[in-house]
């Protein structure tokens, strides 16, 4: 049996057809259309060793058009990645199968990131290429030197995030990023011309990319284009491949019918016949299987050579590289946290929590060379830059701070990609209200269990004059609703430091820090040496018995609650406890007895300069929340707090009413 | 005193400087940089009558870089829009002032849409141009024939939505859309070259735009470029204007220091001196004031001529135009709703609520010629197309259905722009999970009180095999958290019809319909003639006394609750009421006695195939919710409902436990 290019590519096509038929759902067209490109890539270019699919210096291959998941699963099976068995493919899209409808990071080795929500794989790949560039600069080419390949379709380029990603990559000159664009002319609603009439290569070129076009079914042309892309190390490269969706299917090829539904048994059989494929379903002839296994072993030599280089590197450099890639924190980090705590206790700070965040970063970043910062063009507002990460990442020099531009979504997704890559702890800033723009990438960070850190400042009406478009109201609730995301809203400088410590320690869950524009006093000036935020909520102050009233608050409103409690105790002799709740998620994870001991049995009021939605988890009704009932307004921040009745006096008054005083 | 171009432009600059100084916050740089362009536009091109700023056929002017709000406020004041007084400008960015930090739709005439969140003004302008094109086709050029101008900066083009907007506009050939790009080379974080190195004109050109470049301070060059843009009616046009941010400020011009903070009194004085401006703050010399008033009256003749044409149009056409522009519904709509109700009662339907939505659209769209549909490339899945809106909007022919492409964010913002324009009721579809991609535009619809209708199908794990990236879990809660948004999740075909009726009737609040992929029985087969969804929640079934247990549910889970109630009543003789809650927002707006009568005093359980966050508004703890605790999974929908324990049997079992049976 021939093991020529076409036969190898047909292995992918046949498996994609079979798995989609078996699942009775899925997307056969894109795998069939891109089989040639992936075959050329795997055979001639991709640096990959199927026996060690998580080898640190492998090339990354990202399937941004994640609905074509069978392309990736078929490839991983064929090259011999251990647990991607035929049984796995037979269970495509079934509960419990790692071969999910879209590629899910962590389910199978070789799935470099979760894709499906279009454009995000591309942006994550930009993050991988950024990570590679930074790690290469830090550890040298002998340890880090690989490409990032992206497969994507029209959808990824119609989504705005696709433009953000390509613009950023072009700007930063990510020469080891190579995009293979599946230009098949078909979209779910039909011919792409229904909604898409761009000159895509010209668009990429306008953003500083090297561009090539070729026939996506001609292996020589594909090879030449990829070779040229690799040769250009100054610019990212895009190869526009003219392909036929559902290549081989006699009646459905080149039509939307091949996109998102099984071919059906007749068309599937006819397609195999047209392709000259005679094997039974889920069967790869031995010669072809062997040829693919050989492709899977192509990178073994490169990996062995890399391992030799690693082994012969200076011990300290090797250990540091391995530490970073494993996501382990250095001992110096713990010491830096303690020193920062000591400093805050020695000299308490009345500062905005965004400023406290900068102070925390300043105290910690030196101990964490893997920490990489950035902002979506709000550096001076987010206060995300400190001397340790001062050098800006430029095309000439890959510093530790990335100017993402006004591209919140790509920033978030690229940070996820850095987490997928490993070796980097990324954080990036914008205003809390613009978490909306990045929202689905925050979700994907949670779904992938990545330790991405989102720094979201200007977290309430305290933002002031910029007005309701810039004032988050519903955002804390909307973010708390995302499973697996830790939402921190620290009350003062000490809590901000503690939340930063937790965000950095959580390498398998994303963190979002909601930080204030306006100053707030340091409430924690005593010290028990523990990170109190770790339990999510705790009794910050107890007046008298603490058993007449419980005040719950987060962020800058904790200081207001303390002031109100002080008044209520002084004027009425009330026993009041003030609970600071910097992280609901951590609190919910505590044992029931801790939670009930903190909350107590007294009537409760909650204070948060945000919408009340969700607070009924802790108080009886939303009437017991001092918060917002609608959007904010334009005006000075302190005036807005007065205007919306979120003051210590208003809290005290509400408490009097609640208790019938 | 000279009333030459420079002096007129300096009126804008002086007012911007003064207002930002007075507010001690704001953005002087962009108004100073764009003053020349806006002066040329207003003087020579903009069709506008200051005495009738809401004239239906005025040109629309959208300030997409909304932080430059003083540019717009100064212009509106100078041309003499009634309530934009000097006092208004003096109160810029203060509570209660309509001159908010960013332009807020509805606060001042002449503010065509709310801007600030970058890129959305541009996309809204695309919607306005779409509305103009459709209304022009429907009512003729004698009634509708105007331009839409957009002012924008780098930020709008760095945001992904900017690309979505420009790609869509280029594709659809919106020849009356003209963008003036303020290419000032400065961004918040400094020189735009820090993060932005595109050839922007080439990018627009690659997407089918007519492109011109000019000196943004040369009135002749600006005039020529705008004239050429107007002459090209086949393509949208972009004029890239090289400008100096903070033009005139001696030390801050051309720097980021002019972007987002007051110049300071010294620099402000020096800038005025450099500009040759001698008047006191907030003072416009009489001759210049008169010249600007004359500019404001330029459109009076055009408006009078238009009014004459309207008055002489056939009465039916005139009334229909006025009805649509006023957002009033036709009597035929009410009849169509009734006929559709009758049809569902005559032949109950067991269908997916997305299918029920299509049936509702099919029944209603004929009666509403202003209804315009679309989908972000998921027409066949969202079921958003029906014969009445069959004709696709193309560059050749402006039909009633828009193929937005895979551009959820631009779709949502463009629909908002149609609402801003008036005359159109827009709806558009995508998957509920991708509400994330469009989220900030959904928010802006609520903030602007626009009647945009978001059709979001595949609203739960019932989506099935596509897996967790495509299965919404937190989205219902996250959307319910947005103030002013009506989130509908109908239980069956009848509720879907009713929710559609409500969505269409609410012309001053956005609606989002969360619809199922999977079929569900028609639960409402009796008839009292009322729209029961209008009250948000109601007793759908009462077994026995209905006083032993209350089951709350939404969407397809209502049928499960009914089944469980049936079992509990049959097996234990329990009095169970089943409450369908299609719209929490409407329910919250009901009188307290209605709400308590519906909810009753019995123990409550809630059922929703979504995260539990927020349900504590109605149940004691989240333990009383049968729902999701994390992300979904890939598998067939019915199997997933079993897997995650959201079944009638599980509900009944939870009820037994809850009641100690």
- pLDDT of B1 above 70: no
Confidence of residue B49 (pLDDT cuts 50, 70, 90): very high
Confidence of residue B345 (pLDDT cuts 50, 70, 90): very high
Q: Per the CB < 8 Å rule, is B436 touching A433? A: no
B162 sits in which H/E element: helix B160-172
Other CB atoms within 10 Å distance of the CB of residue A151: 28
- pLDDT of B188 above 80: no
B151 sits in which H/E element: strand B148-152
> d(Cα B490, Cα A460) in Å, to the nearest integer?
33
More confident residue, B107 or B194: B107
Contacts of B433 in chain A (CB under 8 A): 117, 440
CB of B213 within 8 Å of a chain A CB? The answer is: no
> d(Cα A205, Cα A418) in Å, to the nearest integer?
25
User: pLDDT tens, B414-463?
Assistant: 999 999 999 999 999 999 999 999 999 999 999 999 999 999 999 999 99
Confidence of residue B292 (pLDDT cuts 50, 70, 90): very high
Q: Per the CB < 8 Å rule, is A379 touching B188? A: yes
CB of B28 within 8 Å of a chain A CB? The answer is: no
Residue A107 to residues A20, A95, A293, A419: CA-CA distances in angstroms?
19, 12, 22, 16
- pLDDT of A280 above 80: yes
Architecture label for domain A534-659 = 3-Layer(aba) Sandwich (3.40)
> d(Cα A224, Cα A212) in Å, to the nearest integer?
10
CB of B429 within 8 Å of a chain A CB? The answer is: no
| Long-range contacts (CB closer than 8 Å, 24 or more residues apart) made by B133-138 | B133/B174, B133/B176, B133/B393, B133/B398, B134/B372, B134/B393, B134/B398, B134/B400, B134/B424, B135/B321, B135/B324, B135/B423, B135/B424, B136/B398, B137/B397, B137/B398, B138/B369
Contacts of A206 in chain B (CB under 8 A): 198-200, 202-203, 205-206
Architecture label for domain B5-303 = 3-Layer(aba) Sandwich (3.40)
**What average pLDDT does range A31-45 have in this prediction?**
98
- pLDDT of A44 above 80: yes
> d(Cα A199, Cα A178) in Å, to the nearest integer?
19
Alpha helix (H) residue ranges in B186-327: 200-206, 219-231, 265-275, 286-296, 300-312, 315-326
**What average pLDDT does range B117-144 have in this prediction?**
98
Q: What is the pLDDT of residue A233?
A: 97
DSSP-derived letter for residue A59 is P
Fold exhibited by the domain B535-659: Rossmann fold (3.40.50)
By C-alpha distance, the chain A residue nearest B206 is A199
- pLDDT of B526 above 90: no
User: pLDDT tens, A357-390?
Assistant: 999 999 999 999 999 999 999 999 999 999 999 8
Q: Per the CB < 8 Å rule, is A443 touching B436? A: yes
Architecture label for domain B331-520 = 3-Layer(aba) Sandwich (3.40)
Q: Per the CB < 8 Å rule, is A170 touching B198? A: yes
User: pLDDT tens, A109-136?
Assistant: 999 999 999 999 999 999 999 999 999 9
**What average pLDDT does range B10-23 have in this prediction?**
97
More confident residue, A192 or A38: A38
Is A331-520 in the same CATH topology as A5-303?
yes
User: pLDDT tens, A62-102?
Assistant: 999 999 999 999 999 999 998 899 999 999 999 999 999 99
Q: Which of B634, B636, B641, B643 to mutate to test the interface with A (most CBs of A within 10 A)?
A: B634
A596 contacts: CB under 8 Å, gap ≥ 6: none
Contacts of B206 in chain A (CB under 8 A): 198-200, 202-203, 205-206
Q: Per the CB < 8 Å rule, is B202 touching A200? A: no
Selecting among B112, B132, B159, B408, the annotated active-site residue is B408
Q: Per the CB < 8 Å rule, is B116 touching A200? A: no
Q: Which of A469, A611, A624, A644 to mutate to test the interface with B (most CBs of B within 10 A)?
A: A469
> d(Cα A202, Cα B166) in Å, to the nearest integer?
15
Q: What is the pLDDT of residue A2?
A: 86
Other CB atoms within 10 Å distance of the CB of residue B629: 12
Percent of chain B with pLDDT over 90: 96
- pLDDT of A529 above 70: yes
Per 3-state DSSP, chain A is made up of helix, strand and coil in percentages (nearest 5) of 50, 15, 40
Both tokens of B302, joined, read: 């055009």
Q: What is the pLDDT of residue B652?
A: 98
Active site residue A408: yes
A10 contacts: CB under 8 Å, gap ≥ 6: A35, A248, A275, A276, A277
DSSP-derived letter for residue A582 is S
Q: What is the pLDDT of residue A306?
A: 98
Beta-bridge partner residues of B552: B579, B606
Percent of chain A with pLDDT over 70: 100
Residue A508 to residues A12, A328, A485, B22: CA-CA distances in angstroms?
33, 11, 10, 48
User: pLDDT tens, A155-191?
Assistant: 999 999 999 999 999 999 999 999 999 999 887 777 8
Both tokens of A585, joined, read: 């998620």
- Domain positions in chain B: 5-303, 331-520, 535-659
**What average pLDDT does range B520-544 have in this prediction?**
93
Q: Which of A88, A101, A207 to mutate to test the interface with B (most CBs of B within 10 A)?
A: A101
CA angle B13, B189, B123 (to 5 degrees): 70
User: pLDDT tens, A209-236?
Assistant: 999 999 999 999 999 999 999 999 999 9
| Residues B419/B479, Cβ–Cβ less than 8 Å | no
Confidence of residue B191 (pLDDT cuts 50, 70, 90): confident
**What average pLDDT does range B174-193 have in this prediction?**
88
User: pLDDT tens, B266-281?
Assistant: 999 999 999 999 999 9
Q: What is the pLDDT of residue A1?
A: 67
Other CB atoms within 10 Å distance of the CB of residue A234: 10
> d(Cα A389, Cα A399) in Å, to the nearest integer?
7
Other CB atoms within 10 Å distance of the CB of residue A657: 11
Order of all β-strands in the sheet with B148-152: B60-63, B148-152, B177-183, B237-242, B210-215
Q: What is the pLDDT of residue A609?
A: 98
User: pLDDT tens, A605-631?
Assistant: 999 999 999 999 999 999 999 999 999
User: pLDDT tens, B196-250?
Assistant: 999 999 999 999 999 999 999 999 999 999 999 999 999 999 999 999 999 999 9
DSSP symbols for B195-217: T----HHHHHHHTT-EEEEEETT
Helix axes A353-364, A493-505, angle to 10 degrees: 50
- pLDDT of B511 above 80: yes
Percent of chain A with pLDDT over 90: 96
| Residues B262/B26, Cβ–Cβ less than 8 Å | yes
Backbone φ and ψ of B607, nearest 5°: -135, 120
Percent of chain B with pLDDT over 70: 100
CA proximity to B630, closest of B654, B651, B653, B612: B612
> d(Cα A429, Cα A411) in Å, to the nearest integer?
9
Q: What is the pLDDT of residue A65?
A: 97
Q: What is the pLDDT of residue A190?
A: 77
**What average pLDDT does range B13-28 have in this prediction?**
96
Beta-bridge partner residues of A455: A429, A513
Chain B window 389-428: which residues touch A at a Cβ cutoff of 8 Å? 392, 403-410
User: Is residue B147 classed as helix, strand or coil in its secondary structure?
Assistant: coil
Both tokens of B532, joined, read: 């029961």
User: pLDDT tens, B82-126?
Assistant: 889 999 999 999 999 999 999 999 999 999 999 999 999 999 999
Beta-bridge partner residues of B182: B241
CB of A464 within 8 Å of a chain B CB? The answer is: yes
**What average pLDDT does range A22-33 have in this prediction?**
96
| Residues A150/A140, Cβ–Cβ less than 8 Å | no
CA angle B104, B106, B109 (to 5 degrees): 100
ipTM (interface predicted TM): 0.98
Q: What is the pLDDT of residue B2?
A: 86
DSSP-derived letter for residue A472 is -
User: pLDDT tens, B91-101?
Assistant: 999 999 999 99
Other CB atoms within 10 Å distance of the CB of residue B331: 8
Contacts of B392 in chain A (CB under 8 A): 194
> d(Cα B128, Cα B123) in Å, to the nearest integer?
9
**What average pLDDT does range A22-40 have in this prediction?**
97
Q: Per the CB < 8 Å rule, is A117 touching B195? A: no
Both tokens of A638, joined, read: 């302190």
């Amino acid at each position: 049996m021939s093991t020529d290019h076409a036969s190898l590519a047909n292995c992918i096509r046949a498996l994609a057809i079979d798995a989609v038929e078996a699942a009775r759902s899925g997307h056969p067209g894109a795998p069939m259309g891109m089989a040639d490109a992936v075959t050329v890539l795997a055979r001639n270019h991709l640096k990959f060793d199927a026996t060690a699919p998580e080898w640190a210096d492998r090339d990354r291959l990202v399937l941004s058009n994640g609905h074509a998941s069978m392309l990736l699963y078929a490839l991983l099976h064929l090259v011999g990645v251990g647990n991607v068995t035929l049984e796995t493919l037979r269970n495509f899209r079934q509960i419990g199968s790692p071969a999910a409808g879209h590629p899910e990071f962590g389910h199978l080795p070789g799935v470099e990131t979760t894709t499906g929500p279009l454009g995000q794989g591309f942006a994550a790949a930009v993050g991988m290429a950024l990570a590679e560039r930074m790690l290469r600069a830090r550890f040298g080419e002998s340890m880090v030197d690989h490409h990032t390949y992206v497969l994507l379709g029209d959808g990824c380029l119609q989504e705005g995030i696709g433009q953000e990603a390509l613009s950023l990559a072009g700007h930063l000159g990510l020469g080891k990023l190579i995009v293979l664009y599946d230009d098949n002319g078909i979209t779910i609603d039909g011919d792409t011309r229904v909604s898409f009439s761009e000159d895509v290569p010209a668009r990429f070129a306008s953003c500083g990319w090297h561009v090539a076009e070729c026939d996506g079914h001609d292996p020589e042309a594909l090879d030449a284009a990829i070779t040229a892309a690799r040769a250009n190390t100054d610019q990212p490269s895009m190869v526009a491949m003219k392909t036929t969706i559902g290549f081989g299917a006699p009646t459905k090829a080149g039509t939307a019918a091949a996109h998102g539904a099984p071919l059906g048994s007749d068309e599937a059989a006819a397609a195999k016949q047209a392709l000259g494929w005679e094997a039974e379903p889920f069967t790869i002839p031995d010669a072809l299987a062997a040829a693919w296994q050989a492709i899977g072993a192509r990178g073994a030599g490169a990996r062995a050579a890399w391992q030799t280089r690693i082994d012969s590197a200076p011990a300290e450099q090797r250990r540091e590289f391995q530490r970073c890639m494993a996501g382990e924190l250095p001992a110096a980090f713990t010491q830096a946290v303690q020193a920062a705590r000591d400093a805050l206790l020695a000299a308490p700070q009345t500062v905005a929590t965004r400023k406290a965040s900068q102070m925390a970063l300043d105290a910690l970043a030196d101990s964490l060379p893997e920490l990489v910062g950035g902002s979506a063009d709000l550096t001076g507002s987010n206060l995300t830059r400190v001397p340790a990460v001062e050098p800006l990442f430029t095309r000439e020099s890959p510093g530790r701070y990335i100017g993402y531009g006004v591209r919140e979504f790509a920033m978030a997704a690229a940070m996820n990609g850095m987490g997928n890559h490993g070796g980097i702890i990324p954080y990036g800033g914008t205003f809390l209200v613009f978490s909306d723009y990045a929202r689905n990438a925050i979700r994907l960070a949670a779904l992938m269990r990545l330790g991405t850190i989102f720094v979201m400042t200007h977290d309430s009406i305290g933002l002031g004059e910029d007005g309701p478009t810039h004032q988050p109201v519903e955002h804390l609730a909307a973010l708390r609703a995302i499973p697996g995301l830790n939402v921190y809203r620290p009350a003062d400088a000490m809590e901000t430091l503690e939340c930063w410590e937790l965000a950095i320690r959580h390498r398998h869950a994303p963190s979002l820090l909601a930080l204030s524009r306006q100053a707030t006093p340091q409430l924690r000036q005593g010290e028990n040496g523990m990170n109190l935020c770790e339990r999510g909520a705790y009794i910050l102050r107890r007046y008298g018995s603490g058993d007449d009233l419980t005040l719950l608050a987060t962020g800058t409103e904790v200081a207001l609650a303390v002031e109100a409690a002080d008044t209520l105790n002084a004027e009425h002799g009330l026993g009041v406890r003030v609970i600071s709740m910097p992280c609901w998620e951590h609190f919910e994870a505590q044992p029931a007895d801790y939670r009930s001991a903190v909350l107590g049995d007294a009537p409760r009021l909650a204070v948060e300069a945000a919408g009340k939605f969700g607070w009924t988890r802790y108080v009886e009704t939303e009437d017991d929340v001092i918060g917002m009932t609608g959007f904010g307004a334009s005006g000075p921040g302190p005036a807005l707090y007065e205007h919306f009745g979120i003051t210590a006096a208003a809290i005290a008054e509400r408490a009097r009413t609640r208790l019938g005083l």
